[in-house]
Amino acid sequence: SCDYTKAGDCSAGIDEYRSEYIDKIADVLQQFEGLVPVVLVIEPDSLPNLSTNQADPRCGSSATMAAYRSGVSYAVQRIAHAAPSAVIYCDAGHGGWLGWKSNMKDYVATIRSLNVSSHLRGFATNVAGYQALGVMCPTYDFCLNKANPEHDCCVDPCGLIEQWNPSHNEHNYALHLRKAMIEGIPGFVPHVIIDTGRNGVADERELCSNWCNVRGAGVGLLPSTETANKDIIDAYFWLKTPGECDGCTQTLPDGSFCPRFDADCASEDSIGSASGEPRAPEAGVWFDYQIKQLAANAKMF
């Protein structure tokens, strides 16, 4: 691990990540190479944070940047060598995060700097996210500058188009991501998988940057390879288990203080912030109240 507040190259943390985590995973994959199909999503949130949050000392220190770049590059190359048939996707956030052209440009530069594109099938988007699939447009920027406002693909409950973000739904984000990568990394034609585990409702949030235990969300499309455009989108998956908590409320269900509390989990859209709602457990713990709400609002077909 790295001390976020200090400069350096995080060499000790990177060595630990390689030997105690990635090498052990690669050794297991090597044992089953060619025997079972393997699909891997590498380090959700890490590269999007590296691309867009360098002003945050937790993401922009020299140690953290070195850890992300060296660690993810090593992970992809080590696993690809150990299990050549494994299908590897890197995480690419979602359209409401990296969908602006400037953010996309930074993300393409990040991927290019890792020198791993030859090992990647493509990218996983909306992992643990809530951004709706929407309708895929003919082109990624079809709705910008108030063009085609009556078209179904330009429905924009988060108001991203008005902010000059063409990736107002995950289908259009897939178009944008693919185009940018093709233009930015010669010979790289990526494919996309989309997490639909919790994006069945399009307009449930007051503020679409809110991401923690969103009230009113619903399970989305069932995992399937029947996608809107099979040339671009390989599959819809439930990559984060619906019902797995995003993060705790300041007070845990047992009344104790949550040491890992994130203020974003007290947003106006987060379960537990309104009177009468249960407190949320720590991240990764089963949240019974949330899964029942996800099921009640599900749109799986």
For helices 23-31 and 62-82, give the axis angle rounded to 10 degrees.
Answer: 10
Q: Which amino acid is at 76?
A: V
**Selection from 231, 232, 273 nearest residue 251 by Cα:** 273
C-alpha span between 114 and 29 (Å, rounded)? 22
Q: Check 45, 106, 262, 264 and give the catalytic one.
A: 45
Determine whether 45 is an active site residue: yes
How far is the CA of 238 from the CAs of 39, 58, 177, 195, 250, in angstroms?
13, 28, 20, 5, 28
Alpha-helical segments (H) within the chain: 11-17, 23-31, 46-52, 57-60, 62-82, 95-98, 101-114, 170-184, 288-296
Q: Which residues contact 141 (CB under 8 A, 6 or more apart)?
A: 166, 176
C-alpha span between 16 and 51 (Å, rounded)? 24
**Selection from 200, 197, 202, 205 nearest residue 270 by Cα:** 205
Determine whether 254 is an active site residue: no
Q: Check 156, 195, 246, 269 and give the catalytic one.
A: 246
Tokens 């399937």 sit at which residue?
224
For helices 62-82 and 101-114, give the axis angle rounded to 10 degrees.
Answer: 60
Catalytic positions, please?
Answer: 45, 246
